[in-house]
């Protein structure tokens, strides 16, 4: 029998339900894997074995007595350290929330609990989800399971690396400018950013509220569609959740490429790393040979996406993170004489350099004299980007792009230069700005054995179409890759 | 951006900047501002102020009272808490 940890999500689900696998055996196998491997990967900030095993035992008990909560009962899932679970620490990989135990469940957690999932919390991330490499965690730098000298991407680097290193089959992350899709691409797994408004943000510690969205990572596509069905839907605790038709996992089916109009980047616009360029061109050629029509789109607005993203995201973060003031929860720097000093001393001690940089940029762009030129202008530019996507979908069925301009870079390679780091999100941020859904699909390995990702984007709330295309991509030989068994 | 302006922004954001950090922060900050300045080249005159707020299918919840977080749970996460109140340094001079 295949080692339990190397089972796909679908195999796990089948085996749990046909009685050939117990949740405790599966969970124990993952705990062993984590204990043997995570010293190299550093995906977990904490591993509460007793609590996790107890949940698995309860699930097996329900299965034995015929009181299963759902067909998902007993499936393990990793949770990024910015999604609240009652009684667990939710630190956002920041010192300012080092000891914060959440008094409530995020809506997504409540929905997963109702189905009987077993939680592995506290997956490492860039502090407050600000970064593209997971090097901005206040605690540890997560490593790429394909090459531990390299970064896993970010900000949900722990969630992606845990799945890629076969320490879990599925996990949740959050995506504000690419934080699910980029690490999924660099770690060779599936990662979905749902349409803005599809999934409740209640209990997700806010970074940039108009862009943030929770989404799943998985070692197969079924895990993505199942999790999306479970976590999505209207929630009166998040007023930005949309009243739309619910997503149904069984609505996904492979598509016939013949006659499909696929929006692609113009050859002169994809000046990415040679291996990424070549794989992208090869995939497009294959789709063409299967009868799809390639439609070059004008992505010239894209060059504004990162500046627009950084202005809007940092403005929202400077406002959202003002709640961390040392008063009601989180770190308080004792000894401050005055209230004002307590605020600034607690915040100065609690936040890391990138978080401070972004709070300062956001405060600057919202401040008197700069508002119109920066924040106001960025808001209008965002409208143009949104309209651009609406225009695209009048002429194409779907859009295919690489997810990341390069494969995983080395730890430390870009930390000195914030602008260079920001460029890692060039292909992902415009998706958040327009609110549409996008998925990163594994697209094979480059010449050094590192994963490449393919980003597929559809129109608002059309995840059924998005994931149907993804299913067809998963059937292409050129996109197949195997996750590493030994982590060195 | 000069040191005075940086410190003013930091004060608005309630962050302290050490003198030893000023020059590297100014350097990072000017580069980032220069980078985002690129949006000035984009013509946005076609966008009306009212277009900024996206049409989303918001659904209002029923106006019913529900149980929220309990006071005891909030006491557990507060850095300093006494007799039902969060304790802060003295704010008003007597």
Check CB contact of B14 with chain A, cutoff 8 Å: yes
What per-residue confidence (pLDDT) applies to B66? 87
Tokens of A262: 């696929």
Q: How far is CA B79 from CA A91, A283, A324, A336, B69, in A?
A: 15, 55, 12, 14, 17
What per-residue confidence (pLDDT) applies to B56? 61
Rounded to the nearest angstrom, the minimum Cα separation between A31 and chain B is 29
Among candidates B82, B94, B54, B91, which has minimal Cα distance to A379? B54
pLDDT tens digits for range B65-74: 988 889 999 9
CA-to-CA distance for A206 and A57, rounded, in angstroms?
33
What per-residue confidence (pLDDT) applies to B94? 65
Phi, psi (5° rounding) for residue A419?
-65, -45
Rounded to the nearest angstrom, the minimum Cα separation between B59 and chain A is 6
Number of C-beta neighbours around residue A254 at 10 A: 13
Per-residue pLDDT band for B50 (boundaries 50, 70, 90) equals confident
Contacts of B33 (CB under 8 A, 6+ apart): A361, A364, B1
Residue of B nearest to A347 (CA): B15
- Helix boundaries (H) for A232-302: 274-289
What per-residue confidence (pLDDT) applies to B57? 62
- Is there a contact between B76 and A103 (Cβ–Cβ < 8 Å)? yes
CA-to-CA distance for A387 and A380, rounded, in angstroms?
11
Angle between helix B22-36 and helix A353-366 axes, rounded to 10 deg:
50
> What sign does the dihedral A437-A440-A441-A443 (CA atoms) show?
positive
- Is there a contact between A251 and A462 (Cβ–Cβ < 8 Å)? no
The H or E element that residue A395 is part of is: helix A377-395
- Is there a contact between A77 and A120 (Cβ–Cβ < 8 Å)? yes
Would the CB atoms of A381 and B56 count as touching at under 8 Å? no
Q: Which of B29, B32, B68 is best to mutate for the A interface (most A CBs within 10 A)?
A: B32
Q: What distance lies between CA A218 and its chain's CA centroid?
A: 11
Q: What distance lies between CA A122 and its chain's CA centroid?
A: 14
Domains of chain A, residue spans = 4-251
For A282, counting Cβ atoms within 10 Å of its Cβ (0-12 exposed, 13-18 middle, 19+ buried), the class is middle
For B48, counting Cβ atoms within 10 Å of its Cβ (0-12 exposed, 13-18 middle, 19+ buried), the class is exposed
Residue of A nearest to B35 (CA): A307
Q: How far is CA A71 from CA A23, A51, A158, in A?
A: 12, 22, 27
Give me the residue from A100, A103, A307 closest to B39, CB to CB: A307
Would the CB atoms of A103 and B76 count as touching at under 8 Å? yes
Q: Within chain A, how many helices (H) and strands (E) appear?
A: 15, 10
Among candidates A71, A15, A14, A32, which has minimal Cα distance to A166? A32
Contacts of A108 (CB under 8 A, 6+ apart): A83, A172, A199, A200, A203, A204, A214, A231
Give me the residue from A304, A331, A364 closest to B38, CB to CB: A304
Q: What distance lies between CA A348 and its chain's CA centroid?
A: 28
Angle between helix B22-36 and helix B3-12 axes, rounded to 10 deg:
80
**Is A318 one of the annotated active-site residues of the chain?**
no
CA-to-CA distance for A405 and A155, rounded, in angstroms?
16
For A122, counting Cβ atoms within 10 Å of its Cβ (0-12 exposed, 13-18 middle, 19+ buried), the class is buried
Q: For chain B, what is the mean pLDDT?
A: 89
Contacts of A289 (CB under 8 A, 6+ apart): none
Question: Over 80: is that where the pLDDT of B58 sits?
Answer: no
Per-residue pLDDT band for B62 (boundaries 50, 70, 90) equals confident
pLDDT tens digits for range A318-343: 999 999 999 999 999 987 788 999 99
Q: Model pTM?
A: 0.97
Residues on chain A touching B25 (C-beta within 8 angstroms): 357, 360
Residue of A nearest to B49 (CA): A380
CA-to-CA distance for A6 and A28, rounded, in angstroms?
13
CA-to-CA distance for A64 and A456, rounded, in angstroms?
41
* CATH code 3.30.1130.10 for A4-251: no
Among candidates A400, A402, A395, which has minimal Cα distance to A472? A400
Phi, psi (5° rounding) for residue B3?
-60, -40
Query: Could you say which residues of chain A have pLDDT below 70?
Result: 1-2
CA-to-CA distance for A41 and A37, rounded, in angstroms?
7
Q: How many CB pairs (< 8 A) connect A and B?
A: 150
């Amino acid at each position: 029998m295949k080692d339990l940890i190397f089972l796909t999500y679908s195999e796990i689900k089948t085996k749990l339900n046909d009685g050939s696998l117990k949740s405790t055996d599966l969970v124990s196998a993952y705990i062993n894997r984590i204990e043997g491997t995570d010293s190299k990967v550093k995906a977990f900030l904490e591993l509460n074995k007793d609590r996790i095993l107890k949940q698995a035992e309860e699930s097996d008990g329900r299965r034995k007595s015929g009181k299963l909560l759902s067909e998902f009962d007993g499936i393990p899932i990793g949770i990024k350290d910015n999604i609240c679970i009652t009684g667990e620490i939710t630190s956002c990989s920041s010192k300012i929330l080092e000891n914060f135990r959440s008094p409530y469940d995020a809506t997504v957690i409540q929905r997963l609990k109702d189905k009987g999932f077993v939680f592995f919390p506290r997956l490492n991330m860039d502090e407050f989800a600000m970064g593209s490499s997971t090097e901005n965690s206040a605690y540890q730098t997560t490593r790429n399971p394909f090459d531990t000298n390299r970064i896993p991407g970010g900000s949900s680097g722990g969630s992606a690396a845990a799945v890629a290193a076969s320490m879990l089959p599925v996990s949740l992350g959050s995506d504000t400018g690419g934080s699910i899709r980029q690490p999924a691409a660099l770690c060779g797994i599936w990662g979905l950013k749902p349409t803005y408004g599809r999934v409740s943000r209640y209990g997700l510690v806010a970074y940039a509220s108009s862009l943030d969205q929770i989404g799943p990572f998985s070692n197969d596509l079924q895990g993505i569609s199942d999790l999306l069905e479970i976590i999505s839907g209207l929630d009166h605790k998040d007023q930005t959740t949309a009243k739309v038709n619910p997503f149904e996992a069984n609505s996904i089916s492979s598509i016939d490429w013949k006659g499909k109009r696929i929006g692609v980047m113009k050859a002169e616009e994809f000046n990415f790393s040679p291996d990424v360029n070549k794989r992208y061109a090869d995939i497009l050629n294959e789709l063409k040979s299967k009868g799809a029509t390639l439609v070059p789109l004008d992505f010239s607005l894209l060059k504004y996406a990162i500046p627009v993203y950084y202005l809007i995201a940092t403005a929202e973060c400077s406002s959202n993170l003002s709640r961390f003031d040392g008063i009601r929860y989180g770190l308080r720097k004792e000894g401050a004489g005055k209230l004002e000093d307590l605020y600034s001393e607690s915040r100065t001690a609690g936040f890391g350099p990138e978080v401070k940089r972004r709070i300062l940029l956001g405060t600057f762009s919202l401040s008197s004299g700069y508002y119109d030129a920066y924040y106001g202008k960025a808001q209008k530019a965002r409208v143009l980007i949104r309209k651009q996507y609406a225009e695209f979908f009048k002429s194409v069925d779907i859009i295919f792009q690489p997810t990341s301009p390069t494969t995983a870079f080395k730890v430390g390679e870009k930390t000195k230069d914030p602008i260079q780091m920001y460029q890692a999100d060039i292909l992902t941020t415009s998706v958040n700005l327009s609110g549409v859904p996008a998925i990163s699909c594994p697209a094979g390995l480059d010449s050094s054995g590192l994963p490449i990702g393919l980003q597929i984007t559809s129109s608002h709330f059309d995840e059924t179409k998005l994931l149907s295309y993804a299913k067809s991509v998963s059937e292409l030989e050129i996109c197949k890759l195997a996750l590493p068994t030994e982590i060195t | 951006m000069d040191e005075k302006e940086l410190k003013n922004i930091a004060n608005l954001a309630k962050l302290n900047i050490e003198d030893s950090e000023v020059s590297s922060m100014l350097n990072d900050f000017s580069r980032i501002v220069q980078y985002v300045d690129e949006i000035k080249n984009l013509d946005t005159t076609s966008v009306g102020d009212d277009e900024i707020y996206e049409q989303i299918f918001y659904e209002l919840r029923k106006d019913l009272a529900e149980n929220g977080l309990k006071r005891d749970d909030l006491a557990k996460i507060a850095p300093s808490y006494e007799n039902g109140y969060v304790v802060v340094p003295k704010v008003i001079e007597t």
